[in-house]
Amino acid sequence: MSRICIVGASGKLGQYMIAHALAKGYQIHAVCRAKSVGKLARFKGQISIYPGDTDDRAVIQRAVQGCDAVLTVLVPWGVSQYATRTAQAVLDFAAPQARLIFSCGWHISKDGKDHYTWQLKTFVAIFGFVARLFRIADLADQVRACDTIFSSERRWTVVRGSDLEEGPSQGLPIWREHVGDPALASNLTRRTDFALFMVAAIDNPALIHQAPAIVGAGEVV
């Protein structure tokens, strides 16, 4: 593969993905909101930027043309189905055989077999309520978006991240099929390594139609 699209490129995770992808020699189409283009200034001349909201179907259609993979930061901003609309646009317009990699949190479950701590359940319930009350975000939208992806026959992977921290890379995170596996007990991943896993997933066919839950390699207990 030579060309990929990163949707949601201006955030911290998106910028780490750009850096890792450039290191691997990929040509990059980067989608970010027009007001955030300046955040990508350090990559000037190395990437092609497509300004616009990630749920703008016209922007996504242009950005994914000719791309062998699409890496999407799936965020549920607002209360207007932003994540669902973003996921649907990617599914609709990416090339038929493109690898589609999406990021989300541990609270997403593909088959209902994950086991969550009461602390995580409480946080999701409280944050979800407050975020929707103030119209900041809608976690249910991210659930709907992932359900849409899970029902698709496209070549998708949904990477479920634990709590994130900054810091130097600890290498490729480890993953398990379900939250609650003892190997994931640390619930902590370096943000740069989350991005590394997203990029590495492009060339890992074992992850097709999987929703790996990840933690940092240096955090395994």
Distances 103 to 35, 41, 107, 213 between C-alpha atoms, Å: 22, 24, 12, 10
In the chain, DSSP finds a helix count (H) and a strand count (E) of: 6, 10
CATH number of 3-219: 3.40.50.720
| Better-predicted residue by pLDDT, 183 or 116 | 183
pLDDT band for 136, please (50, 70, 90 cuts): low
Out of 57-66, 92-101, 117-126, 153-162, pick the least confident: 117-126
pTM: 0.93
pLDDT band for 6, please (50, 70, 90 cuts): very high
For 13-39, the pLDDT digits (tens) are 999 999 999 999 999 999 999 999 999
Work out the widest C-alpha separation in the chain, in whole angstroms.
47
Instruction: Provide DSSP, 174-203.
Output: EEESSTT-GGGTT-EEEHHHHHHHHHHGGG
Phi and psi, residue 158, nearest 5° = -110, 110
Give buried/exposed letters for 165-183 (b at 16+ CB in 10 A, else e): eeeebbeebbbbebbeeee
With H, G, I as helix, E, B as strand and everything else as coil, classify residue 125: helix
Amino acid at 134: F
Which secondary structure element, helix H or strand E, spans residue 161, and what is its range? strand 155-161
Q: Where are the domains of the chain?
A: 3-219
